[in-house]
Amino acid sequence: MNISGIIVTTAPDMKDAVVTEIGNMQNIEVNDASLNQTVIATVEVETLGDAAAIFKNVHDITGVTNVSLACSYEVEEGEQLIN
């Protein structure tokens, strides 16, 4: 499983619409949208390739100006994130 954190930058006055669109997507969750024109989200998918597909889909949302990968973690089968 791949868990990635992304930072999404939006055009002025488009953040709410972008947050709504991300909320309609699977395997991605908005963690913070309190900053101007910035949305922080977590992507949880099976592979890094699946994550890249979601990044592209987010980038293609009207009003998104940039998507940056903040962190990425590959969880091996049987590995626990929290003890």
Tens-digit pLDDT string for the chain (83 aa): 999 999 999 999 999 999 999 999 999 999 999 999 999 999 999 998 999 999 999 999 999 999 999 999 998 776 665 55
**Domain spans of the chain, in order of start:** 2-74
Query: What is the reported pTM?
Result: 0.87
CA gap 24, 10 in Å, rounded = 17
Q: Give the dihedral sign, CA 6/20/82/44.
A: negative
Query: What pLDDT, on the 0 to 100 scale, is given for residue 82?
Result: 59
Q: What is the full DSSP assignment across 25-50?
A: SSSEEEEE--STTEEEEEEEESSHHH
Q: Does domain 2-74 have CATH number 3.60.21.10?
A: no
Q: How many Å apart are CA 35 and CA 29, to the nearest integer?
A: 16
Rounded Cα gap, residues 69 and 4, in angstroms: 7
